[in-house]
Structure 1
Amino acid sequence: MLKVGIIFGGPSREREISFAGGRTVYDNLNKSLFEPVPIFVDSLGNFILLNWEFIYKGTIRDFYPPVSALPASAHGFQIYLESFGKLSEEEQDRIISQVGKKVEPKDFANLFEFAFLTLHGPAGEDGSIQGLLEWYGIPYSGSGILSSAIGVSKTIQKELMRAAGFATPKTTTISRDQWFATDYKGDLISKVIHQIGLPFVVKAPNQGSSIGVSVVTENDMQHIVGAINRSFFIQEITGGEWQKYTEEQKVRFITSLTDIREGIGLPCLPLSEDGQASLSDIIYHPEELYIYLEKVAQQGGKAILANLNGEEEVLIEGFLPGKEFSCIVIQGEDGQPIALPPTQIIKGGNVFDYRSKYLPGMSRKVTPIDVPDNHLEVIRKECCRLFKALHFNVYARIDGFINSLGEVFLNDPNTTSGMLPSSFFFHQAAEIGMNPSQFLTYIIRTSLVERTKAGKNSTFLKSKLKSLDNAISALHSSEIQKTRVGVIMGGFSSERHISVESGRNIYEKLASSGKYDPLPVFLTGTEQQHELYVMPINIMLKDNADDIKEKILSGGKKHPIIQQIGQEAKSITEKYVGKAIEYPYSISYHELADAVDEVFIALHGRPGEDGAVQGELEKVGLPYNGSGVESSQTTINKYETNKILRSHGISVANHDVVYQADWEKDAEGVVKRLESQFSYPIIAKPADDGCSSAVKKIDSREELIAFAQMMFRPTLAFLQGPSQILELKASEEFPQKSWFLVEELISRKGAKHFLEITGGLLTKLNQAGELEYEVFEPSEALASGEILSLEEKFLAGEGQNITPARFSKDQEAQKYISQQVRATLQKTAEILHVEGYARIDAFVRIFDDNRAETIIIEVNSLPGMTPATCIFHQTAINGYKPYQFIDAILEYGRQRSSVTQ
């Protein structure tokens, strides 16, 4: 078994995507072939052998720096390690020791035999880590030093591409010195417009993931200055602008400004009007920045702030009209490049920025790009030609545009791709039938082959290669009987996209195990008639549930170019894939019982959490995860759940129900009734669906009426007036219902400490066949807005969850309060007959005597199981890796089924 060091995190602005990508690789490496070793790189460049439980945190800041090491922050700002300022080596070691063990590069060979790189941007894609690994004789994934250095510099890329005869847009650069030396920036901008024309794109030349990129469409001086400053990672704000902000707006401004993805980040420096700065004025912490801006405002001045490691020049290039695409190019068995089917990027805005790349709903991916077949071939040939011209190895991601004439403009080739489960990297590999685990095996083996060509340590590398080849061959010839698990995902609720994220994660965890053989199943149809479809891997990895449904219902017909690529890559797929599902097909519950041994329901909302699917599975004798029919029918109904819990002495929010029939009969009367019971603000949400969709804080009568109008609207389309009042985004999910719940906004009410928590649990049957509960340490949920969003709950890099929840700074008090909270969560589960596993959301009031009052908000019988969900943070404390937790869930389903049969 090959020990694979997964190197992730790093100092770049893309460290969160690198962290999430590292987790994906850690989870998806085939456990029969590889032993993953997590090597986290912090923002100061320390290499840390990370304790495995921290891999499953949603963001780096959820665990590093550790909560216990954080300096006091009056405004509760979350920080990275660089915000500590200058730390001694001893201080760094003390912080590191709380999450793992610091290791030196000279020790790498004692820890792992191969390095899988998921680092991004400077220090990750620029050849530096590759050079370090070569120095110490460690083979690594992807391209070598030279091609990596080329791949990270947009300026050098353009020069080499022009020299090789590639079509490129007009380009120019502006140095930082030029920008600040110009008395009137309008003259410099006029020259740029004359040279490049409008529209044009402004880029930070050494960043990835479209960080620091803006599109300029009009000759608007203020907008252009802002775009160029953004690429230099400079922010200007006057004292007058700062003073106009409310306290909440100031905090949000600082949070946005210090965001490494979208703002200038920290540490930063105040600049003079001519761009000069003093290193003695470095601002490290968001609180320091807040104080500085307060001082600037008092003096009536202006702040010019620049990141300490900002760009020294910006790249400006002509805007390329046409369809945007991204293409993964891989190295074939013969060493020649093969372009996978290019994906069209349909954006919500002008630029495919960081959020568009990595957050569902911000953009769409269409594979292959919708152009004539001959244009598709032109894209693929040009991508392969560039792969060879820039001396890339193993794989690369190449972006570009194609216009209506079929002219291809390649743009920003990358030697490392994002490795989230639905990224281009896995999305396009799935089109030739490779699941993530198989594709990663291919990357490792091909990288080993490539490293042998360098003439360094080649005997050792060939030995490792031979061992790996033998293990891969044995894998396909193995006759080990695996447990077949149908993973049902999708559905038709407002949480169908999160369901797909959960289902894919379950599938991938099981697919990389040696115990299970998962079968991906998509559910659609209606509440009256469920339709089940077995789907191939390429369809499962489509963008979202709607794309999957569309592809399934069209029969999953493969584009001729994808069929052609499949033939080109046949030598690869034959080696790594073996037998695979090629096309989707319909399957009944009865047929499913013949195809699998048990089922993992990864659905959220209705159907899934309402007992409907559970009932169908019981009819055909299939074991399944989670609660039974009766309990599921209860917990999906928030109103009924609250009523039952209140009758058993559990604290819940005061609530009422609004029915569509009553509203249509007398809306004014309904509003007056609610206003007599509650004071604004209140919470309005669906009463019989999953969590977070259409949950809104209602501050006025106008908003309450708008919420009801949206909930009871006659068609799926949003109503313009009400959606504007509620500030709904175009991509937001807002279901149509015949009733909804209104409840009081839970508040502190005299408690010394008040927080929102989410707690997970697992059930087991003891030897006597009795139900036992294991209630995990709850997580503290931190919302960026007024309500915790769906994305913050489940998507990597989007939420802040502190696990365990911070009930008290005193350890004894923390333990005492946690016991009270977990006792209430367990009692709640027992009252509602929850089985298998669950997530319970609540608010906690903590009083002076450390008495804790836990107010239950909702019970989720099928919690989200996305890679970043906090239930995995909680189970890690109890020693469960995600796969082990999933295995325990499935084991309980089998036990329950054997007892009831």
Structure 2
Amino acid sequence: MSKPRVAVVFGGRNSEHAVSLMGAGSVLDAIDRSKYEVVPIGIAQDGRWVLAASDQRFAIEEGELPVVDTSGAALALPSGGSSLVAYDPGAIPVELGKVDVVFPVMHGPFAEDGTIQGLLEMAGVRYVGSGVLASAVGMDKAYMKTVLAAAGLPTGKFVTVRDRDWRLNRELVLKEAEEQLGYPVFVKPARAGSSQGISKARDRAQLEQAVEFARQHDPKVLIEAAIEGREIECAVLESPGDEPAAASVPGEVKVEGGQEFFDFEAKYYPDQMSLTVPADIPDETAEELRALAVRAFEALDCEGLSRVDFFYTPDGRLVLNEINTMPGFTSLSVAPQLWAATGVSYAELVDRLIQLALNRPAGLR
């Protein structure tokens, strides 16, 4: 029998392009080539699909972020029958063969937000991770928090700033945020990840600047009341069959190097953050947190893997900050490390996600 064919897709048209490549490099290294045939596919920053070059760079080198190498053949994915077709301009298309499953190691808009999932759903191609709705809701922090709160999960206070309101009623937006949230606040793009575009504001001038900074990534912005507490994270993994999803042991993340909160550098550059697993919290709190993480996973109808982030306040409360339907996925990222501490190695995690996708029916579920 032929081996299942896995297309690992990475890159994309957003500010998390490099993060996607870093995760894809780890996935490509971890996939068991004796068990699967692998096709690496990059989506360039201009939207072109290419077969990955043999020397494609996936890591930060000398401070330079990786990008998709567009020297490969342009690619149309998929064609009829879940097949890949590669072509060069003016040349005859070349059939690359059937794809059994796509592993989209992608983050941010035009990727993690349900767009690539919708494309694959239309083509009837199985893929790793959450479906269109869960991906879209999980990407949009305003809707995510609304859904989580409706499910009875503990969330913080926030104000959504939409493009039209900011352009036409800026002073009113600022006043409402001050009245509802006070200071300090955190301001972030509503539909971006990897801590891109985040600022902390302590007064109106800083708040206005922070909204403008976040709008460089997304015209829709979230202003959140600051929550005092330690950041505790938990990963959730779909179980095979009809078993409930499983939660990892929780871990605590801390910013190092004098930074006040997690930004892109803190997450992806060396020695900028630390992870303590298991987190030093009471056993009953850890169990409550794991249960809440699974409830969040189910509230959004997630599939595959998610990471759920909490604040653990000084008075012992848990506040759910957000859920990430395709978390950072290098072997050193938080979610894989949490699973490694729970007894699931990175290679086992990659294999399990592929198997879950292969055994999932295409179409409505």
CA shift, 1:160, in A, is 0.9
Counterpart among 98, 102, 124 of residue 74 in structure 2: 102
CA shift, 1:357, in A, is 1.4
Distance of aligned partners of 1:213 and 1:137 in 2 relative to their CA distance in 1, 3 Å threshold: same
1:141 paired residue number:
128
Structure of greater Rg: 1
SS at match of 1:356: helix
CA shift, 1:8, in A, is 0.2
The structure with the largest helix share of the pair is 1
1:259 paired residue number:
none
| Residues 9 and 19, structure 1, Cα contact 8 Å, conserved in 2 | yes
Counterpart among 37, 40, 43 of residue 42 in structure 2: 40
CA shift, 1:61, in A, is 6.7
Distance of aligned partners of 1:116 and 1:453 in 2 relative to their CA distance in 1, 3 Å threshold: closer
SS at match of 2:56: helix
Alpha-carbon distance in structure 1 between the residues aligned to 2:154 and 2:58: 43
Distance of aligned partners of 1:344 and 1:57 in 2 relative to their CA distance in 1, 3 Å threshold: closer
Deviant stretches of 4+, over 6 Å: 59-63
1:654 paired residue number:
none
The amino acid of 2:361's aligned partner reads T
Counterpart among 144, 154, 173 of residue 157 in structure 1: 144
Alpha-carbon distance in structure 2 between the residues aligned to 1:416 and 1:144: 11
CA shift, 1:172, in A, is 1.2
Alpha-carbon distance in structure 2 between the residues aligned to 1:61 and 1:200: 30
Matches within 5 A, 1:192-211: 192-211=177-196
1:18 paired residue number:
20
| Residues 230 and 311, structure 2, Cα contact 8 Å, conserved in 1 | yes
Cα distance per residue 1:162-199 (max 9 Å; x no partner): 2111122221122333333357x4x6434322211122
Tell me the number of residue pairs that the alignment of Structure 1 and Structure 2 aligns.
343
Alpha-carbon distance in structure 1 between the residues aligned to 2:143 and 2:175: 25
Which structure has more relative contact order (CA 8 Å, sep 6+)? It is 2
Alpha-carbon distance in structure 2 between the residues aligned to 1:103 and 1:442: 28
- Is 2:246 aligned against 1:375? no
Alpha-carbon distance in structure 2 between the residues aligned to 1:361 and 1:335: 38
| Residues 215 and 350, structure 1, Cα contact 8 Å, conserved in 2 | no
Q: Which runs of 5+ in 2 are unaligned?
A: 84-96
The amino acid of 1:181's aligned partner reads L
Higher mean alpha-carbon deviation, 5-14 vs 314-323, is at 314-323
Cα distance per residue 1:605-663 (max 9 Å; x no partner): xxxxxxxxxxxxxxxxxxxxxxxxxxxxxxxxxxxxxxxxxxxxxxxxxxxxxxxxxxx
2:213 paired residue number:
230
Alpha-carbon distance in structure 1 between the residues aligned to 2:337 and 2:331: 8
Distance of aligned partners of 1:222 and 1:397 in 2 relative to their CA distance in 1, 3 Å threshold: same
| Residues 115 and 132, structure 2, Cα contact 8 Å, conserved in 1 | yes
Counterpart among 358, 361, 365 of residue 452 in structure 1: 361
| Residues 191 and 220, structure 2, Cα contact 8 Å, conserved in 1 | no
SS at match of 2:19: helix
CA shift, 1:62, in A, is 6.2
CA shift, 1:425, in A, is 2.6
1:7 paired residue number:
9
Alpha-carbon distance in structure 1 between the residues aligned to 2:288 and 2:298: 16
SS at match of 1:124: coil
Cα distance per residue 1:654-683 (max 9 Å; x no partner): xxxxxxxxxxxxxxxxxxxxxxxxxxxxxx
Alpha-carbon distance in structure 1 between the residues aligned to 2:278 and 2:40: 34
Distance of aligned partners of 1:130 and 1:335 in 2 relative to their CA distance in 1, 3 Å threshold: farther
Alpha-carbon distance in structure 2 between the residues aligned to 1:130 and 1:433: 29
Cα distance per residue 1:279-305 (max 9 Å; x no partner): xxxxxxxxxxxxxxxxxxxxxxxxxxx
Matches within 5 A, 1:852-863: none
SS at match of 1:22: helix
Counterpart among 52, 55, 77 of residue 53 in structure 1: 55
Distance of aligned partners of 1:226 and 1:56 in 2 relative to their CA distance in 1, 3 Å threshold: closer
Counterpart among 252, 255, 258 of residue 344 in structure 1: 252
Alpha-carbon distance in structure 1 between the residues aligned to 2:68 and 2:128: 26
| Residues 16 and 193, structure 2, Cα contact 8 Å, conserved in 1 | yes
Higher mean alpha-carbon deviation, 422-431 vs 8-17, is at 422-431
RMSD between superposed Cα atoms in Å: 2.2
- Is 2:38 aligned against 1:130? no
| Residues 38 and 52, structure 1, Cα contact 8 Å, conserved in 2 | no
Cα distance per residue 1:489-532 (max 9 Å; x no partner): xxxxxxxxxxxxxxxxxxxxxxxxxxxxxxxxxxxxxxxxxxxx
Q: Which runs of 5+ in 1 are unaligned?
A: 66-95, 234-309, 457-901
2:163 paired residue number:
176
1:322 paired residue number:
229
Counterpart among 99, 104, 113 of residue 117 in structure 1: 104
Cα distance per residue 1:679-714 (max 9 Å; x no partner): xxxxxxxxxxxxxxxxxxxxxxxxxxxxxxxxxxxx
CA shift, 1:312, in A, is 2.6
CA shift, 1:115, in A, is 0.6
CA shift, 1:412, in A, is 2.0
1:853 paired residue number:
none
| Residues 213 and 351, structure 1, Cα contact 8 Å, conserved in 2 | no
- Is 2:273 aligned against 1:353? no
1:27 paired residue number:
29
Alpha-carbon distance in structure 2 between the residues aligned to 1:57 and 1:407: 38
- Is 2:211 aligned against 1:332? no
CA shift, 1:56, in A, is 4.9
CA shift, 1:43, in A, is 1.3
